[in-house]
Structure 1
Amino acid sequence: MTLRIGVDGRVLTDRYHGIGRVAYELTTEMARIPGVELVVFAGDQPSRRFDLDVLAGLPAVSVRRVGMKPVDVRQLWRWRPELRRAGVDVMFFPYHLGASPLAGKPRVALLHDCIFETDPRFVPSRKVGLAYRMLTSVIARTSTVLTVSHASAREVERFYRQRVHPGQVIPNGVDQDLGGTAATADRLRREYGLDGGYVLHVGAQRPHKNVAVLVEAIAKVPDAQLVLVGSADERFPDEVGPAIDRCGVADRVLRLPFVPEDLLGTLYARAGLLAYPSLVEGFGLPMLEAMVARTPVLASDVPVLREVGGDAALYVPPTDAEAWAAAITRLAADDDLRSGLVAAGAAHASRFTWGRAAERLVAAAVSAASSGRSRS
């Protein structure tokens, strides 16, 4: 029996860094599972990161344009006829805010994190925060909710009183072939002036990412270079630029809003270390990407990052710039520590595959479709 799964592909745009990557990889892997057909509902926004033509070329995948933004009020009434025409059995929403309680089909929604709920500083505005929590509450009560970490599952229960069963926690995978070649290393040198050994951060620059602490730390480590990959979010004030000016390190901090996908592995592999100082996350995929690329990881000592990194990372108090500077200095000087973290990281990250995540997602979709839960 064939299960026809709809996928909300409107997040396959440059703006949705992590969610877009999760959606693309899960869709690719689900297409390889026997008995599964996929209908990807794409938006109209172009992407330099995700190739819809590649997805459409997979035997079990068809792509349909729906002409809605990733979060669009029209989705409340437009999903029902779209899903009926496409003949899907169950709908998967990689970003829960794309869902509609009136979709007319069973649905599973991935609620990655509760960042907005954690601290008012992490919300673009009070109005946005209220709307977000109201819609999230509705989706949590009318859909099968999945999360990417047990830390996020606990937060969903804390804020929305909805228990996420352990079987509905689906950790992200990571590209197990991520790395660099001599040719891509040469491109990195020519196009960005990067030779290697830099401190790397990957992620959109938003308040919860806490990137300014890395600028302050770099100022305390002579000759260290910081490379920040990820676009700023125009909804929030820029905290990084003022920190660079205040610390006088403009010549040692390189901000790259965008790096092509084919250079990302090399960017990780050539780094001296990945620094990930987030105050809160849903998962923390760059940690695993760095581990696959055999780059040691420094991360904030917060529950979700300890869950993702296990014993394969070095943890630092998130807001202590002195501690970050000391850890960066220690890793640069201690070859045994670096080697140990690299070996542990490679072994740890090998357990996180997109294929395994896709199998668990399909199992959740089968359960939702067979029970008829979340149908309205």
Structure 2
Amino acid sequence: MTVRIGIDGRVLTDRYHGIGRVTHELVRAMAGTPGVELVVFTGEQSASRRFDLNLMAMLPGVEVVPVALNAVDVRQLWRWRPLLRGAMVDVMVFPYHLGAAPLLGRPAVALVHDCILETDPRFAPSPQVGFAYRIMTALVARTATIATVSRASAREVERFYGRRVHPDHVIGNGVDRLRDDPAAARRLESEYGLEPGYVLHVGAQRPHKNVAVLVEAIAEVPDARLVLVGSADERFPDEVAPAIERYGVADRVTRLPFVPEELLGTLYARAALLAYPSLVEGFGLPVLEAMVSRTPVIASDVPVLREVGGSAALYVAPRCARAWAAAITRLLADDDLRDGLVAAGAAHASHFTWGAAAARLVSACHSLAGTYLAEAAR
């Protein structure tokens, strides 16, 4: 049976950092799968600096259909049903669950990446946003098949929404070997002033990322340099700039809101280590990106990062700057520890592939579509 899978590709913009990346890689991995046709619905937002939709449209078995709906738009409550009927979609996948709509007339998979806003009210841009988010997520949890990117997120979905996620619907991220080349290294030096050997953090700077703890920690590690890659979120106060001023490390901290995709592998490879102090995550893809780039990782000792990093990372109490400083100092000085983590990380990351993630998603879609068609035929 050939199944036509609709993909909500409105997140393929620079606004949706990790979600856009996951969507892009899943589409690439599913393209050309026997018995699968993909219909990717894209939005009308400005062109992305990261994703080439024209190239996506050239992938085997992929059709790109622009739609005049934002990723979160009340009009989708009544617009999706005729769109899916016209495109002859059998099952719909929403990589960002808030883009999902009830009453589609066919089965849907909604990917809940995390429960960050539910964990702490301070992680929501406002109480109103946090409340609306929970109401919408509760609605989606009752009207769609929920998938998550980690077992930790599945537990949180059950905790906050009372919805058990089937083990087969835990669809972890994959990771590809990132390109590292001399031309990119020269660009990092000439355009960004980055010499190798820095402590690296990658991620949008929001409260749950806990980035200020790294600024405090770097102040206790003489001569260490910290590079923070990721855009600020204007909905939240900037916690990093005051920390830089408070600890007097402006000359040792570099903030880069955006780095082109073609430089990312070299950015990781030239780092002495990745420091990832998040208080909560849905997955934590930079941990694996560092590992495939043969860069050792220090991560917060929280369940999801233990799940993703396994025994191939060092773990630190997330809020303790002194512990972060000690771990950074230790890893910078201990070549044997570094070499061991590099080897373990490369082996560990090899188990996370987009092909495996895509296969799990396709299997779920086939099952849902088959059940739906069988019930419709009765």
TM-score by length of 1: 0.98
User: Is 2:255 aligned against 1:267?
Assistant: no
1:236 counterpart letter in structure 2: F
Deviation by residue 1:71-100 (Cα, 9 ceiling, x = unmatched): 111111111111111111100000000000
Kept in 1, the 8 Å contact 2:30–2:358? The answer is yes
Deviation by residue 1:104-152 (Cα, 9 ceiling, x = unmatched): 2211010000000000110111111111111100111111100010000
- Aligned 1:252-331 pairs, distance under 5 A: 252-331=252-331
1:320 counterpart letter in structure 2: C
Could you tell me how far apart the structure 2 residues matched to 1:371 and 1:243 are? 54
Kept in 2, the 8 Å contact 1:203–1:230? The answer is yes
Task: Specify the alignment match of 1:65 in structure 2.
Answer: 66
Kept in 2, the 8 Å contact 1:11–1:70? The answer is yes
Could you tell me how far apart the structure 1 residues matched to 2:168 and 2:2 are? 23
Could you tell me how far apart the structure 1 residues matched to 2:27 and 2:37 are? 10
Kept in 2, the 8 Å contact 1:179–1:269? The answer is no
Could you tell me how far apart the structure 1 residues matched to 2:77 and 2:277 are? 37
Task: Specify the alignment match of 1:221 in structure 2.
Answer: 221
Could you tell me how far apart the structure 1 residues matched to 2:275 and 2:293 are? 14
Equivalent position SS for 2:281 = coil
Equivalent position SS for 2:146 = strand
Equivalent position SS for 1:272 = strand
Could you tell me how far apart the structure 2 residues matched to 1:56 and 1:97 are? 25
TM-fit CA distance, 1:157: 0.3
Equivalent position SS for 2:271 = coil
Equivalent position SS for 2:163 = coil
Task: Specify the alignment match of 2:29 in structure 1.
Answer: 29
Task: Specify the alignment match of 2:195 in structure 1.
Answer: 195
Task: Specify the alignment match of 2:167 in structure 1.
Answer: 166
TM-fit CA distance, 1:13: 0.6
Could you tell me how far apart the structure 2 residues matched to 1:290 and 1:90 are? 35
Task: Specify the alignment match of 2:48 in structure 1.
Answer: 47
TM-fit CA distance, 1:54: 1.1
Q: Percent identity?
A: 75
Could you tell me how far apart the structure 1 residues matched to 2:194 and 2:246 are? 24
1:157 counterpart letter in structure 2: E
Greater shift after overlay, 348-357 or 80-89? 80-89
TM-fit CA distance, 1:360: 0.3
TM-fit CA distance, 1:69: 1.3
Equivalent position SS for 2:311 = helix
TM-fit CA distance, 1:44: 1.2
Q: Which runs of 5+ in 2 are unaligned?
A: none
Task: Specify the alignment match of 2:361 in structure 1.
Answer: 361
User: Is 2:94 aligned against 1:88?
Assistant: no
Deviation by residue 1:191-239 (Cα, 9 ceiling, x = unmatched): 1111211010000000000000000001111111111111011111111
1:121 counterpart letter in structure 2: R
Could you tell me how far apart the structure 1 residues matched to 2:105 and 2:190 are? 52
Kept in 2, the 8 Å contact 1:116–1:123? The answer is yes
Deviation by residue 1:11-49 (Cα, 9 ceiling, x = unmatched): 001111100000000001011311111111001112101
Could you tell me how far apart the structure 2 residues matched to 1:82 and 1:191 are? 45
Kept in 2, the 8 Å contact 1:179–1:268? The answer is no
Could you tell me how far apart the structure 2 residues matched to 1:349 and 1:60 are? 29
Task: Specify the alignment match of 2:110 in structure 1.
Answer: 109
TM-fit CA distance, 1:346: 0.1
Deviation by residue 1:329-365 (Cα, 9 ceiling, x = unmatched): 1000000000000000000000000000000000011
TM-fit CA distance, 1:310: 0.2
2:41 counterpart letter in structure 1: F
TM-fit CA distance, 1:367: 1.2
Equivalent position SS for 2:310 = helix
Could you tell me how far apart the structure 2 residues matched to 1:59 and 1:292 are? 28
Task: Specify the alignment match of 1:185 in structure 2.
Answer: 185
2:181 counterpart letter in structure 1: T
- Aligned 1:120-135 pairs, distance under 5 A: 120-135=121-136
Kept in 2, the 8 Å contact 1:179–1:292? The answer is no
Could you tell me how far apart the structure 1 residues matched to 2:107 and 2:333 are? 54
Measured on the aligned residues, the alpha-carbon RMSD in Å equals 1.2
Kept in 2, the 8 Å contact 1:40–1:61? The answer is yes
Task: Specify the alignment match of 1:118 in structure 2.
Answer: 119
Task: Specify the alignment match of 2:233 in structure 1.
Answer: 233
TM-fit CA distance, 1:179: 3.6
Kept in 1, the 8 Å contact 2:179–2:262? The answer is no
Could you tell me how far apart the structure 1 residues matched to 2:168 and 2:123 are? 29
Could you tell me how far apart the structure 1 residues matched to 2:227 and 2:68 are? 36
Kept in 1, the 8 Å contact 2:26–2:357? The answer is yes
Could you tell me how far apart the structure 2 residues matched to 1:354 and 1:72 are? 29
Could you tell me how far apart the structure 1 residues matched to 2:372 and 2:238 are? 46
TM-fit CA distance, 1:295: 0.1
Could you tell me how far apart the structure 1 residues matched to 2:260 and 2:179 are? 14
Q: Which runs of 5+ in 1 are unaligned?
A: none
Task: Specify the alignment match of 2:343 in structure 1.
Answer: 343
Could you tell me how far apart the structure 1 residues matched to 2:339 and 2:280 are? 28
Equivalent position SS for 1:275 = strand
